[in-house]
Amino acid sequence: MKIIDGRKRADEILAGLKKEIKDKNLRPGLGIILVGAEPSSCLYVKVKETAAKKIGVRVRKQILSGRAPESEILEVIESFNRDAQIDGILVQLPLPKEIPTDKIIRSIEPNKDVDGFLPESRFDSPFIAAIWQALKVSGENLKGKKILALVKSDIFGQRLTGFLSRKGLCCDYTICQKPQDCPAALKIADIVITALGQPGFINAAMVNDGAVLIDGGTTRQGDKTIGDIDAESVSRKAKWLAPSPGGVGPITVALLLRNVVLACPLGAGRKRAAGVK
Ligand code: GUN
């Protein structure tokens, strides 16, 4: 089994962005909102912030209490929406249960929705685009292949469907939200994408010989991240694995920042008007 090295691909994307920011003298800004202190969310925000700063994306971070009311979160988003120095807004999910996530996401100015959450967003979801990039790293010819995506969330399933159909890969893909209901499809899939949050759920007996496996699952256990796919087990059977950690995750961060850089010229007029240097 060969490993799809997501860190290497991410580093290439980040190096390209750093150069673009320098060459075009861009001033991209990312506004991050973190509600509460859930350890995984804190870690993901730190990773995104560090990568942003490394390539020259300015970061404005607002950390709110886990008991912050909806109105306080909306106020921060509104101030980021108006802020000419902020090109992209990231609300780290999940939000506390009492907060209506949909309403919060809908309050983000679509031109700044660098997470691609809104249906009208001009940006691809970094996570879905990262899965695509991981497949591209494998160099496999995807035409006519059977793709099975095992996903937990509705939104992710819908976005993935939209993405695959736009890419003209609509020939043969299945989105399955209950993996226990689709073992037969899993066994014959050429390409398996997972975003389940079920650590080590997929093993060698469940997959096709020579399958390409893209693990988008991340579950924190103590200070470790564990993917949906048991890497050791599938190593005897799969052709490629994008492991978790080290596969889709780092590429997702790099593509989030690519969206911020893409959003930057959209805000150029705004910046001029506000006298931003
Ligand atoms: N939490 C887990 N994944 C993501 C992501 O891609 N974006 C945001 N905003 N929060 C997340």
As a whole number, mean pLDDT of residues 175-201 equals 95
Higher local confidence (pLDDT), 222 or 89: 89
Min mean pLDDT across 32-41, 57-66, 165-174, 257-266 is at 165-174
| 23 CA to centre of ligand 1 in angstroms | 30
As a whole number, mean pLDDT of residues 116-123 equals 89
The listed CATH number (3.40.50.1100, 2.130.10.10, 3.20.20.70, 3.40.50.10860) that belongs to domain 25-112: 3.40.50.10860
Domain spans of the chain?
A: 25-112, 126-250
Q: How confident is the model at residue 143 (pLDDT cuts 50, 70, 90)?
A: confident
Higher local confidence (pLDDT), 233 or 159: 233
156 CB near ligand 1 (under 6 Å): no
Q: How confident is the model at residue 165 (pLDDT cuts 50, 70, 90)?
A: confident
Note the CATH number of domain 126-250: 3.40.50.720
DSSP characters for the chain? -EE--HHHHHHHHHHHHHHHHHHTT---EEEEEEES--HHHHHHHHHHHHHHHHHT-EEEEEEE-TT--HHHHHHHHHHHHH-TT--EEEE-SPPPTTS-HHHHHHTS-GGG-TT--STT-SS--HHHHHHHHHHHHHT---TT--EEEEES-HHHHHHHHHHHHHTT-GGGEEEES-GGG-HHHHHH-SEEEEE---TT-B-GGGS-TT-EEEE---EEETTEEE-SB-HHHHTTT-SEEE-TTTSHHHHHHHHHHHHHHHHGGGGHHHHHHHT--
Closest ligand 1 atom to Cα of 94: 1
113 CB near ligand 1 (under 6 Å): no
pLDDT at 272: 80
